[in-house]
Amino acid sequence: MPPVPPTILAEVPAVPESVGSLRHAAGELAERCGADEKLVEAVTLAVSEAATNAVIHAYRDEPGRLSLAAESTNGSLWFCVIDEGEGLIPRPDSPGLGLGLPLIARLTTSFEVRPGPSGRGTELAMAFPIAS
């Protein structure tokens, strides 16, 4: 399959109800790229965790937006969950258990947390092996 150029698959409000649509979009693309059932499950779980983290942590005062982008390159399928929130900073009042990033690390071949492309927020990029 030829490489998929970096593409925004979805842009949604950063609310809990949006996590499912990002998970679905990621799973569909992984299937189209030849991922088996186990890999599709890993992709959808990792994207869900990344999106949930952004919903919980990126925007504290008012909801913002989340984007899901994907790219196929060098035998890997990359998914990026992007927000324009406050960035990755610790929260003493965090409602989560702190298991999202370790779970993503186990599900991916590589992941990177970097500043958002606009200079605001966070981009969580996750790589999965895919047959070329």
Lookup: tokens for 40: 């599709």
The domain ranges of the chain are: 7-89+97-129
Cβ count near 48 (within 10 Å): 20
pLDDT band at residue 1 using 50, 70 and 90 as cut-offs? very low
Max mean pLDDT among 4-13, 43-52, 91-100 falls in: 43-52
Q: Tell me the CATH number for domain 7-89+97-129.
A: 3.30.565.10
Q: Is the dihedral of CA 26, 28, 29, 30 positive or negative?
A: positive
Does residue 13 have a pLDDT over 90? yes
Max mean pLDDT among 7-11, 28-32, 58-62 falls in: 28-32
- Scan for tokens 């593409």, then name that residue: 7
Q: Where are the beta strands (DSSP E) in the chain?
A: 7-13, 65-73, 76-83, 110-115, 122-129
Cα angle, residue 125 at apex, residues 73 and 33 outer, rounded to 5°: 40
The answer to whether the CB of 73 falls within 8 A of the CB of 3 is yes
pLDDT of residue 118: 81
Q: What is the DSSP letter of 83?
A: E
The three-state secondary structure class of 19 is helix
